[in-house]
Structures are given as C-alpha cells and as structure tokens.
Chain A
Amino acid sequence: MITDACICPRPRGDSSVRRMALEAHELGFDSLVAIDAPTCEYAGVSVMSGVLVRGAFAQEILPRVKRCKGTDTVVIVEAGDSGFNRAVLAMRGVHVLCGVHLTDRYGFDHVAAKIAADSGIAIDISLAPIIHERGATRQRALDRYLDIVMLQRRFEFPLVLSTHARSVLEMRSVREISALASLVGLDVGDVKQALGNAGRLCSPEPAVQVIQ
C-alpha cells in the first residue's frame, strides 16, 4: 500500500477528505492517513483515520493516546525535546513521531533511534518544509532529515513519508515525493518502503506466524 502518512483535510485545510482521496488516486496513492477524519474508502483510496497529538509533557498526551487504543486510528505525536521524545517512543499505542525537524539537534539522537527501532514506532519525514519553506528553515529541515536517515540506516527504525497537505495543491505525486526524498538521501527502494510503512503501522505483522 502506497500511503501518504499525514494529510489535514477540512476543517484544518481547504479541501475535503473526499477531494483529497480523489486527488491521491490520480497521484498514485492507495491510501491516506487523514487527521480527524473517519475511516472510509473513496475513489479506490482507503482513508485511515489519524489523530495528531501534541503536548509539552508525556503525561499530558498519555490520556489521548490511551483513548485511541484498540481502534484503527493512527496516532501521530508531535516531537518535543529529547526527554519527551524518548518517553513517547517508549509509549504503547503511538504509531508515528512527527515534526522531528523542528526539534533541536539532540531532540532525536541515537538513544531515541534505538528506542524507536525496539518499539516499532515510525519517524515521519514531512516533505512540507522542503516544499514550502525557503532559506535557513529548509536547510535546517534537510540537515535534520539527513541525520534521521543516517540513524535509520544504523538502527533500522521504520520511516514514513508525508506531505502534511492542507490542500489538494499541497499534495504531491509518488514520483515527486521520490524525487524530493532523494534530497535527503533516500533512494527509490527506501521511498517505496517508507510509503508502505504507514499501512503496516496499524496492522503489524505478528511476532509468531503459523505456517501450515
């Protein structure tokens, strides 16, 4: 499943979830994670419900994460400082840690990468700063992503790619995402795997599989 790991339809953005699903179908996606939208299927695109959780302390976000437990909602938590990130990455029920490019250099280090790999929580590489930002902000984001990709190669935690699109105009095709991701050192194989990871987050492979 080729999935855009985070889009923000209306009321956060200017496009309805149905319109974004139509656009995603044209752009080559099979599924989407839509924030605050119900799980549905439209135009052959499966829309997964997502929730974006932000908070200053891990204790603050815990009730919201617990509320989503047992549902098929993708829980995405916005990254904070180093301690917050480590606590979130060890938390059950969290699927994705996003906004790592906005944290300081030590916000996501080798220790956090190891925890992410152990707990199977994906780190989100949002293409929004690469597409929309200019100058120092974009350079800082590219630098942080290069660091994340380097850690990913070492610790093999899952990566997901997203556009964080609030409008159909902010969505990009799979080919464009692949080209943009090459700026941070991801090759075609890495991109394919990252786009497929979001679909696997909610239904991870069981630790033991019975083969008949």
Chain B
Amino acid sequence: MTVRPPTLREKRRYVLVRIAPAGCIPDPKELYLAVHDAATVLWGDAVASLIHPAVVAVENGCAIVRCRRGMERELAIALSTVTSCGGQRIALRTCATSGTIESLRERVASVHRPKPPSSGGPAECMIDGRLFMVCHCAGQKVDVIEKGFKNTTRFFLTTEDLEDQ
C-alpha cells in the first residue's frame, strides 16, 4: 500500500486530557471504547464518524485523544460526558489541543501530575467509626477506600478532614 502524500492526508488534531482520579491508569482500549461510546451516544453515528475519535496514548495520568480537524469542540464535549471506563469511575479533564502529538507530550510535563505519596501521613484512618485505607495522598488531597473486600468506594477528602476526625 502506498502512503498518501501529505497534501492528501486527513488533517487531525490531538487533545490532551488529564485522567481523574489521580493514580487511575485505564487500559487504552477500554478508554477508547468509553470515548467512542460517549461520542456516539451524544452526537449519533453520523457525527461520531466525522469526529473519528481514537486514543493515541495513555501516559503519566494523561491521555492523548485524536480527532479530525474541525471537530475538536464536539470531541471535547463528548469527553466531558465520559464518566466510567472499564467499570471504574473516571473523569477526563481537557487540558490542551494541538496539531502534533509531540507538542502535547511536552505539555504533559506541565500538566498537574500527582505528587508522590507523602511518607509522613497515616496509612489508615477512622471516619465515622469505620476504618479507611489511604490510597492516594498528594498535597492537601487525600483519597481513601474503606477497608474490607466488600466496599471499595473511594472517598475524596483533604488532610484537614482527616485531622478533624
């Protein structure tokens, strides 16, 4: 198969999104399915085919999503309706749009990334008489999960909330 000359190639744009909650690394294929589903359900098959979304990369808590040039707005709206991926609750926060993947890779470093877990903080805490395990701690933000295999709901708190308990 011969490669098309640049002038005949389809023009594409790349959207950088930050994946929340911090520490969540979804499978790229699962993320693609979630984005594709969100675009199709919101805009319908006709517009979704024009958007032509694809997940190019998932790295450092961010994802690069590709779309056809001129459909960035539609893709961004569809991305804000993504609420879960592979059964896990997530949110995709649009950070930047660019014509090249390379420039977005440079932006990934500047996008707020989770800091390493603080070593001094408690690994466990009691909230309302229940035992919780700290699963992520960055700055003032603390994410906790109730201990036990039945309940895996993640709670989003701050260090001050833990001090108040």
User: Are A and B bound to each other?
Assistant: yes
Q: What's the Cα separation between A172 and B92 when bound, in Å?
A: 9
Do A170 and B91 contact each other (CB < 8 Å), given the known contacts A15-B155, A180-B77?
A: yes
Our pick among B91, B112, B153, B158 for the contact of A19 (Cβ within 8 Å) is B158
Give the chain B neighbours of A16 by CB distance below 8 A: 155-158, 161
| Contact status B89-A22, CB under 8 Å | no
Q: What's the Cα separation between A15 and B89 when bound, in Å?
A: 14
Tell whether A179 is near chain B: CB-to-CB under 8 Å: yes
Residues of B in contact with A, size category:
20 to 34
Give the chain A neighbours of B141 by CB distance below 8 A: 19, 22
B144 vs chain A, min Cβ distance (A): 10
Q: What is the total number of residues of chain A having a CB less than 8 Å from a CB of chain B?
A: 31
Do A14 and B73 contact each other (CB < 8 Å), given the known contacts A131-B80, A169-B91, A179-B80?
A: no
Give the chain A neighbours of B158 by CB distance below 8 A: 16, 18-19, 22
Give the chain B neighbours of A20 by CB distance below 8 A: 156
A43 vs chain B, min Cβ distance (A): 8
Instruction: List which A109-168 residues lie within 8 A (CB) of chain B.
Output: 130-132, 134-135, 138, 167-168
Do A175 and B94 contact each other (CB < 8 Å), given the known contacts A15-B156, A132-B83?
A: yes
Q: What's the Cα separation between A132 and B73 when bound, in Å?
A: 19
Tell whether A183 is near chain B: CB-to-CB under 8 Å: yes
- Chain A, 1-23, contact with B by CB distance < 8 Å: what is the 0/1 string? 00000000010001110111011
| Contact status A169-B89, CB under 8 Å | yes
Do A10 and B81 contact each other (CB < 8 Å), given the known contacts A167-B89, A168-B20?
A: no
Q: What's the Cα separation between A125 and B54 when bound, in Å?
A: 31
Give the chain A neighbours of B112 by CB distance below 8 A: 26
**Interface positions of A (Cβ within 8 A of B):** 10, 14-16, 18-20, 22-23, 26-27, 43, 130-132, 134-135, 138, 167-173, 175-176, 179-180, 182-183
Q: Identify 12 residue pairs between A and B in the complex whose beta-carbon atoms are under 8 Å apart, listed by A's number.
A: A15-B156, A16-B161, A19-B141, A19-B157, A26-B112, A168-B91, A169-B90, A169-B156, A176-B77, A176-B93, A180-B77, A180-B81
Question: Which 5 A-B pairs have CB atoms at the shortest separation, nearest pair first?
Answer: A15-B156, A176-B80, A169-B91, A18-B158, A16-B161
**Interface positions of B (Cβ within 8 A of A):** 20-21, 41-42, 73, 76-77, 80-81, 83, 89-91, 93-94, 112, 140-141, 153-158, 160-161
